[in-house]
Structure 1
Amino acid sequence: MNKRSVGTFYENLAARYLEKQNVMILERNYRNKRGEIDLIGLDPDGWLIFVEVKYRSSEYSGNPLAAVDERKQWIISKVAAGYLMTHYRSLDVKCRFDVVGIEGSEIRWIKNAFEFR
């Protein structure tokens, strides 16, 4: 399995996990000229969530949540701003940035993992 198909598999796993938590998935692999966001959804409390999915096969590969470094946060923030302006014509939308970390068979959802950069 190549890297892209592995990523797609775990993004789909994360989407199914979030859907079981009553998150409505609005977009998968949303792209604009600044980059990509893995998942965009609407949580049960009305928050628009931008989700980065990170997978590691084991603890020896490093913590998947730590892989969303400051540079990645900046990229996600800029893509999210473009999404908000395109879809809502405003940056004044109740939203947050979450990370779903998958390590082996364990899934962890970190809500509000980082602030807009």
Structure 2
Amino acid sequence: MNTRKVGKIYEDAAEDYLNSKGYQTLEKNYHCRYGEIDLIVRSEEGVVVFVEVKGRSKTNWGEPAEAVTPLKQKKILRTAQDYIYKSCLNTETEYRFDVITFDRGRMEHIENAFC
């Protein structure tokens, strides 16, 4: 199975998990010139959460969360700013950046992974 298909499986599983926890999906695979965000959801408390999904079947390349490097974080931040601007979200809206990892069949949700 190619990495794109595997990535979609991880993203769908992450979305299902978040929905089961009461999050509402706002966008999937949001693209702009700065980059892409896997999932944008709203928590029950109204916090808009930008979610990066990472998976690994082997640890040869390190842990999945390690792939969210400072450069990747910067791209996600700029992409989130683009989304906020284009969506005309309320200036009082709270935001957060989470990472959901899949490591050899185990899922981990890291809230406030970076800012």
TM range (shorter): over 0.9
Question: What is the aligned partner in structure 1 of residue 76 from structure 2?
Answer: 76
Q: State the alpha-carbon separation in 1 of the partners of residues 40 and 89 from structure 2.
A: 17
TM-score (norm. length: structure 1): 0.91
5+ residue gaps in structure 2? none
The answer to whether the 8 A contact 1:36-1:76 is kept is yes
How does 1:15-34 map onto structure 2 within 5 Å?
Answer: 15-34=15-34
The answer to whether the 8 A contact 2:28-2:37 is kept is yes
TM-score (norm. length: structure 2): 0.92
Aligned length: 115
**1:41 is aligned with what amino acid?**
V
The answer to whether the 8 A contact 1:85-1:91 is kept is no
Supply the RMSD in Å over aligned alpha carbons: 1.4
5+ residue gaps in structure 1? none
**Is the counterpart of residue 7 in structure 1 residue 15 in structure 2?**
no
**1:108 is aligned with what amino acid?**
E
**2:56 is aligned with what amino acid?**
R
> Secondary structure at 1:108's aligned position in 2?
strand
How does 1:27-106 map onto structure 2 within 5 Å?
Answer: 27-88=27-88, 93-106=93-106
The answer to whether the 8 A contact 1:84-1:91 is kept is no
